[in-house]
């Protein structure tokens, strides 16, 4: 068991977080709304030379593709405003992102019909699995801008995934590859006891109901 995941699972008694009535329907159980943007990641923050960065697409495809940052910026760009929810119990509402819709990228790929899942590969040996159907939702992006500005290094520059309807560990920072798969396979946190799907409104935090998340874990992190 990864020691960070083990530490996150120690607290077993959590009270319901209070939220204002106006946004209560948008906030999953156990979450606290914040205006700040906590910074959470595993390992060191990488720095990239944008001229050498690339995104590799492989696995269950007819042909592998590699996209430069410039090539991705040449594709149709989409802005979306959405709520995001971290497994460490914070939610941030009405966040604005800009990037490439995953479904638009799919138009350029020859993905085999039996591909049902994708593994998102990122820096520092991080990966996370997402069903392909979820990646085709309208507000799922390969995001490179947040709140009108380029992503900072700490928030995933030059490119991160945005899957707002799942806990935010599925929205991997610093993505470098998309692997299409016939069958599901666990990613980094999923191998370390986190839930395979991660629906915030069902509180799918861990693979076992015996575990819980410390209520104040996110308050110990750096903020923007």
Instruction: Identify the CATH number of the domain in which residue 177 sits.
Output: 3.90.420.10
- Residue 14: inside a domain: no
Q: Region 200-211: what's the mean pLDDT? A: 84
- Residue 180: inside a domain: yes
- Residue 177: inside a domain: yes
Structural domain boundaries enclosing 144? 29-39+54-184
Q: Region 31-54: what's the mean pLDDT? A: 87
- Residue 83: inside a domain: yes
- Residue 108: inside a domain: yes
- Residue 70: inside a domain: yes
Please give the residue that has the higher pLDDT: either 149 or 3.
149
Q: What domain count does the chain have?
A: 1
- Residue 104: inside a domain: yes
The 10s digit of each residue's pLDDT in 181-193 is 999 999 999 999 9
Percent of the chain with pLDDT over 70: 84
- Residue 141: inside a domain: yes
Query: What's the Cα-to-Cα distance from 214 to each of 4, 135, 159, 205, rounded to whole Å?
Result: 12, 29, 29, 11
């Amino acid at each position: 068991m990864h020691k960070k995941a083990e530490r996150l699972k120690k607290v077993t008694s959590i009270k319901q977080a209070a939220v204002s009535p106006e946004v209560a329907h948008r906030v999953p159980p156990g979450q606290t709304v914040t205006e700040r943007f906590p910074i959470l990641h595993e390992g060191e923050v990488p720095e990239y030379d944008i001229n050498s960065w690339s995104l590799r697409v492989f696995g269950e495809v007819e042909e592998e593709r590699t996209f430069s940052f410039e090539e991705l910026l040449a594709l149709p760009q989409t802005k979306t405003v959405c709520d995001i929810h971290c497994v460490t119990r914070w939610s941030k509402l009405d966040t604005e992102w800009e990037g490439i819709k995953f479904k638009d990228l799919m138009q350029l790929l020859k993905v085999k019909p039996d591909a049902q899942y994708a593994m998102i590969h990122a820096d520092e040996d991080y990966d996370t699995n997402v069903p392909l159907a979820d990646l085709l939702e309208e507000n799922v992006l390969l995001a490179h801008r947040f709140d009108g500005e380029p992503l900072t290094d700490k928030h995933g520059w030059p490119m991160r995934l945005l899957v707002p309807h799942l806990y935010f560990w599925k929205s991997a920072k610093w993505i470098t590859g998309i692997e299409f798969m016939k069958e599901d396979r666990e990613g980094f946190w999923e191998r370390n006891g986190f839930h395979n799907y991660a629906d915030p409104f069902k509180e799918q935090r861990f693979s076992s109901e015996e575990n819980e998340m410390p209520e104040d874990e996110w308050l110990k992190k750096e903020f923007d």
